[in-house]
Structure 1
């Protein structure tokens, strides 16, 4: 699929982007570099470093140490939304779903409208809600994750949505009839 096809599909799945042009679709890396905050740049760099250390600790199975590092980040700067996303992940690994949900709510609240944070938080919260048996809440969050650009959330939202399933089935039937005629 060529880039313009991807842009058209993005506009179909995210109609609120219409009129903003294709240049408004940014990659995660570009968006992360534009973290919108009033945090002093030096403090922000320190927070990112502490957050990276926490991620490495978690990857090495040192979940309590990772949690402590992320707590330090959040204590130092409560408005730093990415730390809440990562702490939610650590809390999920520690099987503390209530704490994870609270962190994801905080990440969404503090995201300042930034798609890359919202995309991660909504998708992560949707997965957690699904595991906890909240199908409606999960679908709603997958749809919000998709709206903010998560391809995983988009796929799941479409596959879980009963109306989308019916539409997909109808389209497949029409296409199979069309191809059988020709």
Structure 2
């Protein structure tokens, strides 16, 4: 399949992308963070955040939470810390606090796709767990728009129009190519 075919299928299954072009994940973007934080302070924040991630990976969730609280208190505009703290809150089964942090991450993301795709996808999963089907689908679509392949797959599978379109395409293809 050529690139233009993929683009057409992407627009069929994700009609909200029409006129916006297709999201292309930037492999370098996670290493950068567009901010007014001075470079030395940003380096320190990333180190603090990494410590928190290590603690969380080792099951030391309360320690990870305390470290992320320190990171956020030092720089309340640092969006990646909100994403990570939300994950810790989810593991601690504090969904309300996680949702609040994900809202903050979206708000403070400065339009950066890598932060938005994480926050929207994580928030969609959380909303789905909390029973907010419409809110979840909307966030999966936003996560997909910002380049999350997981969010894209779920948004397509949950979208009733995409399901109908997919069924119609499969019927046409089966007739055309005698698929079984």
> TM-score, length-normalised on structure 1?
0.87
CA deviation profile, 1:19-38 (whole Å, cap 9, x unmatched): 998xxxxxx54112231000
Higher relative contact order (CA 8 A, sep 6+): 2
Structure 2 unmatched ranges of 5 or more: none
CA distance in 1, matches of 2:162, 2:17: 21
Structure 1 unmatched ranges of 5 or more: 22-27
CA distance in 1, matches of 2:9, 2:165: 16
Deviation at 1:102, TM superposition (A): 0.2
CA RMSD of aligned residues (A): 2.6
Secondary structure of the structure 2 residue equivalent to 1:29: coil
CA deviation profile, 1:145-177 (whole Å, cap 9, x unmatched): 000000100000000011110110011011101
- The structure 2 residue matched to 1:29, chosen from 24, 27, 30, is 27
Query: Would the alpha carbon gap of residues 30 and 128 (structure 1) be closer, same or farther in structure 2, given more than 3 Å must change?
Result: same
CA deviation profile, 1:84-127 (whole Å, cap 9, x unmatched): 00000000000000000000000000000000000000000000
1:137 aligned onto 2:135: yes
Deviation at 1:14, TM superposition (A): 6.8
> TM-score, length-normalised on structure 2?
0.88
Contact 2:102/2:119 (8 A) holds in 1: yes
Deviates more, 1:172-181 or 1:76-85: 172-181
Secondary structure of the structure 1 residue equivalent to 2:35: coil
